[in-house]
Amino acid sequence: QVQLVESGGGLVKPGGSLRLSCAASGFTLSDYYMSWIRQAPGKGLEWVSYISSSGTTRYYADSVKGRFTISRDNAKNSLYLQMNSLRAEDTAVYYCARDLGTRVVPAAIPVYWGQGTLVTVSS
């Protein structure tokens, strides 16, 4: 069955960096677009970044553009989010999610989600 497991979250000081990882299993990662979506404590959902199946096309929310980088290693069945220059407002649970559509017809509909990893930015 499809499984997504995030790791790499933790407590970091403002201005610091973290790299989140998402280990994918139960499907062929190279067939799907993938996303990072976050949720601040007690708040709603925000789409952070979206990457094509090959990794050549990447989208970023304005709130993270220039600070975060999404990447993937299909051979290692892994998705990543490099987060630099972290701010207090980046504090959230970060979810990795797989698209409903395929690399031929992407959909931007996250159907499978990981359990999330908490990032806390505080001094």
Partner 1 sequence: EIVLTQSPATLSLSPGERATLSCRASQSVSSYLAWYQQKPGQAPRLLIYDASNRATGIPARFSGSGSGTDFTLTISSLEVEDFAVYYCQQRSNWPWTFGQGTKVEIK
Binding site for partner 1 (CB under 8 A): 44-47, 50, 59, 61-62, 95, 100, 107-111, 113-116
- For residues 37-50, one letter each, b for 16 or more C-beta atoms within 10 angstroms of the residue's C-beta and e for the rest, the string is bbeeeeeeeeebbb
What's the closest the beta carbon of residue 75 comes to partner 1, in angstroms? 26
Cβ proximity to partner 1, 16 vs 67, nearer residue: 67
117-121/58-60 β-pairing: unpaired
Cβ proximity to partner 1, 42 vs 123, nearer residue: 42
Q: How far apart are CA 37 and CA 49, in angstroms?
A: 7
What's the closest the beta carbon of residue 123 comes to partner 1, in angstroms? 27
